Each structure stands twice: as structure tokens, then as C-alpha cells.
Structure 1
Amino acid sequence: MQLNQRVYEAQVKSSNPSQELPEKVLQFGEGNFLRGFVDWMIQEMNKQGLFNGRVVAIQPTPHGKVVPKLNAQNGLYTYIQKGIHNGETIDDAEVITSISRGINPYQDWDKVLEVAASPDIEVVFSNTTEAGLVYEKEPYEPEKAPLSFPGKLALALHHRYLAKLPGWLIVPCELVDNNGEFLQSIVVMKAKDWELSEDFVRWVQEENQFCNTLVDRIVPGYPRGEETTYEERLGYSDKLVVIGEPYHLFAIEGDEKAEQVLPFVDAGLNVKWGDVAPQRTIKVKLLNGPHTMLSAVGYLAGVDTVGEAMRHPVLRPFVENALSSELIPAFDFDEQEKQAFAQSVIERFENPFTQHYLTDIGMNATQKWKSRLLPSLFTYVEKEQQVPPLLALSFAAQLLYGRPVARDGAFLTGKRENDLYQIRDQDEAIALFEREWSTFDIEQQSIDSFVQNILAEKDVWGSDLNEITGWKDAVVSNVTAMLQEGVLETISQHIGPYSKGRK
């Protein structure tokens, strides 16, 4: 039996009180993270009668596959918290009822605008990844959905403005510095590009509150390969099961009105209102950074999940050494806090109850590398006057991970021995990898040219990375070694001896 309203009422609860609640949230994104973080939090508030509202989830890209599944299940899905919390083992399953429906804006843009003009909508959440929070020129076609998330938000806001309705509390969850302020600036640029009125621009700036935020919860998502186990446990089939750790932190810069609209703290959730900059810095540097460093290295080394990597005799020291020798020294912060946070990261990576797939972390990898790791690279080089060897190794692995064997619609297909994987990235990165790998050969001159061309792509990296002294040579050396000797052998040269066959 597939989870839906009828199955929910028969198998789980006698009724779903959330069905009677008004739609109060417009959410751009319907992926694992938002469903295992924001939508779970809204459920917690609803259970205590503190928020009393539901979410309308908007598909962020034309390639999304979640909305049809979500609507087939009447907005329902199962969230499973698995992990160790305060020394206690947690393995709890709960059907989340806070989403009312999903909308594909590329098919039903009029429905999105209808939601935007609802007096009940108070809050906007988003998580379109770092790649989604960017400015790009787009034509003004109000009758259809813009491709970009800021474009969709700008037109939704304009529709609301024309309806003479109050502005929104806008809470982006993308891991971008000052994400609220940045999103507001892009919306204003869109309004000016499209020659919308100055009064609308003023309304955007003065009648809407854009909050800077920081989010922290590891949400591996769907338990691939364990579908039968979970179906037997739950008593129904759920195509949208989300697995996540118990730990969560949501830091939000908002005023008292925002706290009243979103009474997270009253619901007992780990939400901190105030300056997010310090927490953002340490989290992005020491949790998201090593995640991104590990994704291509670990996958090409033969493991599939973060947990497997932390049990591996070569990959675990890679993560630990990257933290201690390259990431921790690359930013100024209280030393004890950095060390304590890094230790907590290792413990969370070790969580035996979650399967956090490296290929999931590898989605939009170039943008993640740009925002999460390039700042550490620049700072390390400036401080130490040399290239950080493990960052160079990780970057080289990322280039090999982007090697395509076929096209897959808007994306590419890569291959690890007999396993195929999807290379899902920005259009600029996809075009770059496809172009450069198409002319690649194993000759050293070709490797030099290949790396130089990729590093020079300012549209992808934001600058010409060939200008970092020693960086090109370090990347070339690692690409060459990985192609000739293998990924594990190359890593072992940096972190110690590797015994073949040991995992």
C-alpha cells in the first residue's frame, strides 16, 4: 500500500487535523533537506497548536521529480530520525502532514500566483542550493515561470503587491553568506531589469523581511536499497521517506515580529534568533567543507556513503587530517570552539544509522566547492605561502568525478568501474566538463592543458584559479597520480601507507 490520505487514516491516525489548517507557507524547494528540516519543524509547531498552517511546496527546477510523488501521497511522507542524541539511541518514524500539496510552476504557474495572492500566506522558505541563489538575466514573461528561484520570487511578490496584500517573512535556507540580504538584492535587480515600478521596489525593501539564516542538520534522504525493510516496518510504501539525524540547528536573523510568526523556540526546537555570522562561519568551514572535500574523493575511492568513509582506513584519516591541518587553520575563531566543533563533526559523520550518499553531496559540486572551500584555499595560501595538499587532492578528484561517459538530459553520466552515476551541476559546469573531457588524453601535455582550461573558467569559479601560485601544478600532479596509480594510492601518499584490499 502506498502512503496517501486513506492509508494514513487507516494505518496511522484516525484523521489528519492538518487537512483543516490554512496554507500559510510558500516554499521554493521540495527536496529531502526542507522536508526533513523546515517541514518537520512546522509539524512540531502544529502539533502544539503554535503555528497552525500548512506548506505549499514549489518545484524549483524543470527536472524535479518530487512533486508528482508528493501529490500522489496527498502531501504526506515519513520522516525517520536515526542517530545518537545525548547518549541515547533514537530511531523514530513519523508521518509528516505539514505539506498540503506540491506545484510544478513550469506547468501550473497560475497556481503559484494564486497562492502568492492568498491573504493566508505569511512566510516564504527556500532551499534551492547555492546554485539556485544567483543572479542571471532573464526575459520578463509574467505569464510563465522564470527559470531562476529569485525570478519566481520576484514575480510572486509583484503579484502580491498588485493585490495590495501585506509583505512576507522570507527565510532562505541556502548556504550562502548573508543569504537573506543577497536574495533581496537579486529580487530588486530583477524588478529593475523588468522595469517594474519604483513603488514595488520600495515595497519589496520595506514591507518584506528577508532573514539571514544558517541551517544545520544532516539529512541523507531516501533509504535506497532498504525499501523493503522500511515498507515492512511502516506497514505501507512511501516513495518519499526521509532519513535524518536528531541534531538540528536553525539560526535566524529576524525581529520580534518574525519570532511571533514562527514560534520555533516555544515549540522546544533548537532555533536561535540573532547574529548568524559566527555560527555560519564555523559550520560552513568545518562541516559543509569536509563533506564537499570527501564527496568525490570517497566515491572514486570505492565507498558510497559518509559512514563507510569514516570506517575506511584511508578515508577517515583523510577527513581528520583535512580538518586539523587545512580547514581549522584557515579561519580565525576561538581555538577551543573550533576543536570541539570538529570533534562533533567526526561523531556526526560516523552516525551508523544514516546512509548519507556521497553522490547526493556531489550534486552542484562546483558551486559547493566555490562557496564552501575556495575561501579556505585562498586563506590557507595567504597564511602558509603554500598550497594545501589535501584540498588540491580533493579538487583533482572533483575533476575526475566530472568525467562523462554519456549525456543524461540536462546532466551527464559518469562511471566508477561498473557503476554509473549522475553528474548534476550548473549548466556552466556541465558544459565545461563535457567540452574539456571530450578532447582529453592521458599525455602529460594534455593533462596540463585540461587542468589549466578548467581552472581558468571564471563563470564557474568566480576567478581564474591559475593565478593561485602552485595550485595548477598541485592539481595536475594529483590528476596524473589518480589516473596512473588510482585514487586510494594517491590519498595514501598524503596520509600514510595504504594496504590494498583493506576497507
Structure 2
Amino acid sequence: MNRLSAKTLSGSPTAFAVPDYDRARVTPGIVHLGIGAFHRAHMAVYVDDLLRDSPDWGIVGASLRRPDTKEALEPQDGLYTIAVRDASGTKARVIGSILRVLDANTQRRELLDLMASPEIRIVSLTVTEKGYCYAPATGELDPGHPDIVHDLANPDAPRSAPGMIVAALAQRRAAGIAPFSVMSCDNLPSNGPTTKRIVARFAQLRDPELGAWVAEHVAFAGTMIDRIVPATADADRAMITALTGLEDAWPIMTEPFTQWVIEDHFPADRPPFEAAGAQMVEDVEPFERMKLRMLNGSHSTLAYLGYLAGHQYVAEAMGDPAFVRLIHGLMTQEAIPTLDMPGVDLASYRDQLLERFGNPALQHRTWQIAMDGSQKLPQRLLGTIRDRLKAGAPIAHLGLGVAAWMRYVIGIDENGDSIDVKDPMAMRMMAIAAGAGDDPEALFEGLVALTEIFGTDLPENAVFRDTVVEHLESLFEVGAAQTVAALTHT
């Protein structure tokens, strides 16, 4: 069986979509840090749609931690297959917008020199919340983060995303080259301003004059990206081979729905994103908040409760009417009232989400969504909770999501089996859980004291405390399924 590559793709007729432009004419205009599945299911597809008429906007990706994406795509000339799946079937398409992938650990100087070159006008990011080296509760750079400590001591050999961006900007400044625009595509509240605050603060710590220059001259565009992207399994690879006749080391599975809202703030030039269906706006923050609170908050709640209830996939959890009622109630009663978006049909967006969560063709693991909860909780649930508490409104559904996270991170499921908790704070949380034993209130007290997550206000709020502890007690006593059923009974 032939492996996907430029040669094998051009040498045989295909019954699936392939790039409709000459890749030999494409030159890089974007460097993307954190070239994982999410980027390849979304931004890379939009750019692929533009390259026939705008060939100077190809993407060079960078893997910051592991070389697995480079190892998968390099033999394929950067090509990969995206499979759009729903109940009606699977549609395959080969994407050619990624010209190459660099491994930041072994090709750091090449990556920084490329970012510093005039042809690169945008540096975009999907490095997940933890990749920003910030305190989730405040959104500020954490100067004590090990990567930040390293990068300040070794400014020309950075390993963090903020360190790499600043190192490349410093090179451009020294060479008299205008700065690139920075575009965050991660699930951060106000991801444009947040990224600017983090990067400018790092630059200031490195060199006060450089920090002032970054703050004044570098544009940071905010975005909201919406597409569900499960992890790729071996069965998916086999399906792609059967469908296309070509082996693909890392195809991408996704859903038909896709949305991209972009803050139009690119003084260094940009592709015509709107021609590919992106929505260009002056202020992306309302759309970010809508997605974080409705999609991501619901997704995390589903992940923790679904996993504890024995559901391996999100669609399985949505097969339980009690879980559907829970997520409908969370969005309708608690999330939507915190959103101010005139002209946007939030009820319709809610209904779309319920349908998307139930897509049987997307095998989206609850365990995958549950990763890095300490970094996600402040944006996905706690911000909504704070607004509800300020309004004197109940937080029954949101509080259950927090309680489920607390029950999940003890690392033992309802059958007594180990949970592989993937989180940068996992060891601290499990130590707290070990000290709490079987006492839900002690577990709450220990975890809520993590001010990096909960700040200093929520631990002192009686409504928050009582709601979460009550749910936590129920999760220990009767389990996730019965707790959800009891909250949502009609």
C-alpha cells in the first residue's frame, strides 16, 4: 500500500478532494506554533481554501514538545487527510497548506530565523491553555513557571511559546524588520489581549525596552474557533486507507460544523480569511465567551461526569436522557443568562451543540476532553459561576461540573480502578486527595485552596461552597449517573 505523498497523490486518480492549486508555487506566510490535530482540522483547512488565489500564505508548523507530527507528515510532504464524519457517512479531503513541520527542540534556530524573516507576517498558536505559562485564575504570566525561568536565563534558546515569540520579535527589531502579527487560536478568555499581556510581560522581564516595543508595535488578533476534533485512533487510519487507497500516518477526524471568528487586527497583512468563510469582526470577545461557556463548559462537564458514569465517548453520554437534560439546563438556565449578544440566536446555538455532542460518528473520548482541567476550569466554568454568584443566581448545573472535576482528579474511578489524570497539577491534586481520604468536604477544602485555579474569592463564597460540596457528597455516595438523574429528574 502506498503512503500519502505528493508523488502518490499526483500519480493516481482520486475519488476524494485534493488541493486545487500548484503546491510548488506556495510560499510560507504563517508560522504556526503547536501544530496538533485541532489546527489541522480548522485553520489549515481555511488556509488551504485560499491558496489557489493567495499562494504566499502557506503554513510552516512547529512542534514545541514532541516530534510526532513532524515524523508523521514529513514523509508525506506535509499532506494529510481530513475526514468529515456524521451519521450520513464520511467525506475525505487531502489538505496541502502545511508546507513543512519543524521540531522546535532540534530545529530551534531554524524556526526562530524563519519567524524573524520578512516573509512571515503571522505567527499563530494552538499550544493549549498550559502552553501560555500563565496563572489560569488571573490570566497573567507566571514568572516562576519552569519554562519561563529557563527562557529568561537562555533568551536565545527558548522552549516556551512566549519565549519563542519574543526571541523572534527581538531579532526582527534588531534587523529593522516590522513585527509579525500574533494570532491565538486557543480557548483563552480574550485570547488576543491575554496573549499580548503574557508576551509583553515576558519581553519586559527580558528587556524593559523590548517589552515597551512589543506592547506598542506588535498586533495581537483574537479569535474564536469552533470545531470538535477527536483524537485519531488506529481504526481511523485503517478507515482512511480503505477510503482513499493511501496510508496516512496521521489523518484528522472531525465534524461538518466549523466556525472561525477573527478580530481584524493585522497591520502586517493577512490572507483574505473571509473568502474561506471566516467572520472578520472588530471585537471577538463576545463570541469567545459564548463558546467557552456554552460549548467548552458543557464539554468539560460531560467529560468528567460521563467518564465517571462509565461512558467512554461523549456521544454515549448523550445517549442518556438525563445527561441531555443536564447539558440543556446548564446552557439554558445558567450559561445563556450571562451572555449579552444582541442579534445572536443563543437558543439555536445551544440546539446545534446538543446535536453535535450526540454525533455518533465522532468518537470523542471523555478522557481526552478531561485533560488539563486545572488550566481549563477557570475559563470554562468558574467565570460563568462568578457572574451567576454576582447576580445572586443559582449554580446547580455548573457546580456539579466543578464537583465532578474534583471527584475525577482523585485518580480513582467508581469501580476502584485508576484514572490516568493528565494535568500539569496532577501530583499536587492527588496528594490533596490522598490527604482527604473519603471525606468530600476535606477534598473540597484542599482543592479549592489552589488559588491558581480558584482565586481567593470562590473559597470564601458560601453558595459556591455549599453547592459544590453537596454535589461532591452525592458523587461519592451514589455515583455520577444517579447524581445527574437526581438533578435533572422531571
- Which TM-score tier does this pair reach, normalised by the shorter chain? 0.7 to 0.9
1:418/1:430 Cα in 2 relative to 1: closer, same or farther (>3 Å)? closer
382, 400, 403: which is aligned to 2:410? 403
42, 47, 51: which is aligned to 1:37? 42
Compute the displacement of 1:255 (Å): 4.5
The answer to whether 1:264 aligns with 2:269 is: no
The residue that corresponds to 2:11 in the other structure is 10
448, 451, 456: which is aligned to 2:449? 456
Compute the displacement of 1:14 (Å): 11
User: How many Å separate the matches in 1 of 2:340 and 2:53?
Assistant: 42
The answer to whether 1:301 aligns with 2:309 is: yes
TM (norm. structure 1) is: 0.85
434, 441, 460: which is aligned to 2:437? 441
User: How many Å separate the matches in 1 of 2:479 and 2:339?
Assistant: 32
Q: Aligned with 2:294: secondary structure?
A: helix
371, 394, 397: which is aligned to 1:390? 397
User: How many Å separate the matches in 1 of 2:101 and 2:165?
Assistant: 16
Equivalent positions of 1:153-172 (< 5 A) are 153-172=165-184
User: How many Å separate the matches in 2 of 1:143 and 1:154?
Assistant: 10
Aligned length in residues: 471
The residue that corresponds to 2:31 in the other structure is 26
Q: Aligned with 1:423: secondary structure?
A: coil
The residue that corresponds to 1:193 in the other structure is 205
Compute the displacement of 1:420 (Å): 6.3
The answer to whether 1:136 aligns with 2:142 is: yes
Alpha carbons 1:45, 1:52 under 8 Å: kept? no
TM (norm. structure 2) is: 0.87
Structure 1 counterpart of 2:359, which letter?
N
Structure 2 counterpart of 1:451, which letter?
F
User: How many Å separate the matches in 1 of 2:120 and 2:230?
Assistant: 29
The residue that corresponds to 1:82 in the other structure is 85
1:322/1:117 Cα in 2 relative to 1: closer, same or farther (>3 Å)? closer
Once the two structures are overlaid, the 10-residue window that deviates more, 460-469 or 148-157, is 460-469
1:459/1:281 Cα in 2 relative to 1: closer, same or farther (>3 Å)? closer
User: How many Å separate the matches in 2 of 1:472 and 1:222?
Assistant: 39
- More relative contact order, 1 or 2 (CA 8 Å, 6+ apart): 2
User: How many Å separate the matches in 1 of 2:267 and 2:204?
Assistant: 29
User: How many Å separate the matches in 2 of 1:51 and 1:206?
Assistant: 30
Q: Aligned with 2:153: secondary structure?
A: coil
User: How many Å separate the matches in 2 of 1:371 and 1:403?
Assistant: 21
The residue that corresponds to 2:190 in the other structure is 178
Q: Aligned with 2:321: secondary structure?
A: coil
135, 152, 161: which is aligned to 2:164? 152
1:416/1:124 Cα in 2 relative to 1: closer, same or farther (>3 Å)? farther
Alpha carbons 1:219, 1:245 under 8 Å: kept? yes
Structure 1 counterpart of 2:48, which letter?
Q
User: How many Å separate the matches in 2 of 1:351 and 1:272?
Assistant: 28
Identical-pair percentage: 25
Compute the displacement of 1:336 (Å): 7.5
Deviations 1:341-399 (A, max 9, x none): 2122222223333222222221222222111211111222232354x222222212112
The residue that corresponds to 1:407 in the other structure is none
Alpha carbons 2:6, 2:79 under 8 Å: kept? yes
Q: Which consecutive residues of structure 1, in runs of 5 or more, have no partner in the other structure?
A: 405-413, 498-503
Structure 2 counterpart of 1:163, which letter?
A
Structure 2 counterpart of 1:496, which letter?
H
1:462/1:51 Cα in 2 relative to 1: closer, same or farther (>3 Å)? farther
Alpha carbons 1:145, 1:152 under 8 Å: kept? yes
RMSD, aligned α-carbons: 2.7
Compute the displacement of 1:67 (Å): 2.9
User: How many Å separate the matches in 2 of 1:81 and 1:217?
Assistant: 11
Q: Aligned with 2:39: secondary structure?
A: helix
The residue that corresponds to 2:112 in the other structure is 113
User: How many Å separate the matches in 2 of 1:191 and 1:270?
Assistant: 31
Once the two structures are overlaid, the 10-residue window that deviates more, 181-190 or 65-74, is 65-74
The residue that corresponds to 1:501 in the other structure is none
Compute the displacement of 1:224 (Å): 5.3
Structure 2 counterpart of 1:183, which letter?
T
Deviations 1:426-479 (A, max 9, x none): x3x22321211233422xxx3322210101110233335321213333333323
The answer to whether 1:431 aligns with 2:427 is: yes
| Misfit runs of 4+, over 4 Å | 11-16, 255-258, 332-336, 414-421
Compute the displacement of 1:416 (Å): 6.7
Compute the displacement of 1:225 (Å): 3.7
Alpha carbons 1:306, 1:356 under 8 Å: kept? yes
1:306/1:367 Cα in 2 relative to 1: closer, same or farther (>3 Å)? same
Deviations 1:192-227 (A, max 9, x none): 21126x2x4454344432112222222224245443
